Amino acid sequence: MARRIDVMQQMEVPIRGMNCLECTQHVQHALATLPGVHSVQVYLASEKAVLQVNPAQVDLDGIRQAVKGVGYSVPFTVTTPEASSPVQTLASFTRPVLTLFGLVVGAVLLVVVAGEWLGLFEQITERIPLWLGTLLVVLTGAPIFVNILQAAWRRQILSHTLMSLGVVAALLVGQWPTAVVVVFFMYVGSYAERFTTERARRAVKHLTLFAPQTACVERDGQEQDVPIEQVQIGVTVIVRPGDRIPVDGIVLEGQATVDQATITGESLPIEVQVGSRVFASTIASLGYLKVRTTQIGSDTTFGRVVQLVEEAEAHRAEVQRLADRFSAYFLPIVASIALVTLLVSRNPLATAAVLVVACSCSLALATPIAMLASIGAGAKQGLLIKGGKYLEVLAKADVLFVDKTGTLTTGRPQIADIVALAHHSETRVLQLAASAEWYSEHPLAEAVRRAAKERGLALEDPARFEAIPGAGVRALVSGKRVAVGNERLLPEARQEAVAQVLEAQGKTLLFVAVDGELVGVLAASDTVRPEVTQALAEIRTLGIKHIELLTGDQERAAAALAKELGITYRANLLPEDKIALVKKEQDKGRVVVMVGDGVNDAPALAQANVGIAMGAAGSEVALEAAHLALMREDWSLVPDALRIARRTMRTVKFNLLFTALYNLVGLSLAALGILPPIVAAAAQSLPDLGILVNSSRLLHQPEATSTRSRL
């Protein structure tokens, strides 16, 4: 009997009402228990769940009911907001709302402390019966209490569960004004968390709002505006001045200035012309373009960037996992302290104060809000960080390995010398080499083809083609077996005297052989990126002293570049050699960062503790292999990434230390009877506000060094 194979399908479901990590955990647990759900990830920043499901067993109604069962909702219609209003509105009201919020909380704290000192609450308690005060507490806190009871029915503990125990404790000892203050600050805490989370979400929303919704396509010589979903790969898209480019593609006709800030973070526009690559969500100005579509929708560079930024929160830092584990034990720890306080002091007011002052919300907020803020702020600068755990690791980095071609250098080498041998002409040698390199994506192959094009040579599509990683290519051209590569492919070629002379000049050599006979030598030269020297100096000042060049290039070329930059080097390396060197340093307990172009270096990028892809815009391999991608080819972003990582971890550590000390002092004062319940109720929300203010600083990272250098 044939076995039926269930095909899994990915579903993206918007979730409304999530304001904290607890929310995502509850939704994830509810969806994971549905039949037919293979895996699920819930993202707070983008307010959605991504599920791998068996479509025969799962439908949207079932998902909607599961989400509703844990207190959240799935909208029946999903609308796309306008590209300006939500972000601009939130940004414009951020500062005044935060100011008003602080004034209200400060006023309440002043009233509470002064009232306790003057004995006003005792007078209120004497004049208003307990049953009436209890009714007031129940009515004002009903939405929160219902949510907590529903969670308890599902065997879930919320951050407000502990505070609710404090409310109950305050009522049991007749301190209903204390219970009212606790309820008030439960609302304050909820709004603070929503406000902080919304600010952290803003960068992701800022990205998604730039996605074009329509495109102007050329059909039968006519221009027609269509929804972006109807655009097919290969069609011609018209881009007028001021339009946002709707697709990734190649310019077929026209010339324009394009602002690529949404992709690369680069504020200066670039000039594009026939043959140039353009990316979705960038803005064309001062020109008219016809673009042949190569990628659409979520497959565009912009779509992949948005997806990876959204998914970044799934890669949680180890310090965040530790905080989450501690939060799970926080309730029983506080309950034990309260029980000991009651047994030792026989003071029910002190016991109630212990339950009231404990603040578990701040523990849950300390790490993720800071991580989300830095990931979002980094994305706007052109730094695509795939998760908080990579920020944590990057902050500890002490070894930097770098690739040569396309990384330290511009990646656009020029053929400087052509030496013909064995009765062949320079023109014929170049023509055969360029034809053999027809399908190669290596920068040196592009240089060979470009040199042939500049000389007007006609190239032939090879009948057979084979790429040998780290060595070169073999192809069948005009019935001849042509090999083009380094000495690893043609080891005997290095003995040629002319090869030794060219290599001594620091040039990269490509040997050309026909039917096993060496017929020529091509010498290529590349230029170092202008910002590399300063960037490496900044990296050294940040504490990374071991910087080493890993390249498949020849010894002398590598030595010349390494000497120029003042770093060590390893030459003639295959991809597996680079992996071995990364592992060797990791075995010594070092944290390795690898910077490469994301193609030949993909294995080493993946093996490194943090792999950084240089110039990842448009490179799918780079986006997939690396843990952090520089969306423009600018080495100044590397030290900027290190600074962001270290600033983030300083913020996280301060948040955790502040929360721990605050709870320790608060619980101690409450247990000793020094902190009255009413003051404890007012004080328990201060850590949330402190973390809000401290983490919000990360949303405004210092200006990138690459930008400063141009001013």
* CA 665 from centroid of its chain's CA atoms: 36
Quote the DSSP letter at residue 100. H
* 471 exposure class (CB count in 10 Å sphere: 0-12, 13-18, 19+): middle
Among residues 344, 339, 358, 343, which one has the least CA distance to residue 668? 358
Cα 84 to Cα 322: distance, rounded to the nearest angstrom: 38
Do the beta carbons of residue 13 and residue 58 sit within 8 Å?
no
Among residues 482, 362, 363, 365, which one has the least CA distance to residue 434? 482
Cα 177 to Cα 192: distance, rounded to the nearest angstrom: 22
Do the beta carbons of residue 170 and residue 342 sit within 8 Å?
no
Cα 329 to Cα 155: distance, rounded to the nearest angstrom: 15
What phi, psi does 531 have (nearest 5°)? -90, 0
How many residues make up the chain in this entry? Answer: 711
Cα 181 to Cα 646: distance, rounded to the nearest angstrom: 38
| Strands 472-477 and 236-239, bridge-based pairing | unpaired
| Strands 628-630 and 610-613, bridge-based pairing | parallel
- Annotated active-site residue 403? The verdict is yes
Q: How many CB atoms lie within 10 A of CB 185?
A: 25
* Alpha carbon separation from 45 to 23, 523, 638, 693 (Å, rounded): 12, 51, 25, 19
Cα 711 to Cα 708: distance, rounded to the nearest angstrom: 5
Question: Which residues partner with 43 through β-bridges?
Answer: 48
**Catalytic entry in 243, 248, 403, 688:** 403
* 12 exposure class (CB count in 10 Å sphere: 0-12, 13-18, 19+): middle
Among residues 28, 72, 74, which one has the least CA distance to residue 51? 28
Q: Helix 176-208 to helix 686-696 angle, to the nearest 10 degrees? A: 20
What radius of gyration do the chain's Cα atoms show?
Answer: 31
* CA 352 from centroid of its chain's CA atoms: 43
Quote the DSSP letter at residue 16. B
Which residues, including other chains, have CB under 8 Å from residue 314's CB and lie 6 or more apart?
A: 41, 43, 387
Cα 196 to Cα 191: distance, rounded to the nearest angstrom: 8
Cα 428 to Cα 420: distance, rounded to the nearest angstrom: 9
* Residue for token pair 């010894």: 555
Cα 37 to Cα 55: distance, rounded to the nearest angstrom: 9
- Biggest CA–CA distance in the chain, Å, is 113
Quote the DSSP letter at residue 482. E
* Alpha carbon separation from 381 to 10, 543, 634, 647 (Å, rounded): 30, 23, 11, 15
Question: Which residues partner with 216 through β-bridges?
Answer: 225, 238
Cα 19 to Cα 451: distance, rounded to the nearest angstrom: 58
SS3 (DSSP) at 346 = coil
Q: Which two tokens stand for residue 707?
A: 């930008």
Cα 264 to Cα 616: distance, rounded to the nearest angstrom: 9
**Cα 313–Cα 318–Cα 319 angle in degrees, nearest 5:** 95
Q: Active-site positions? A: 403
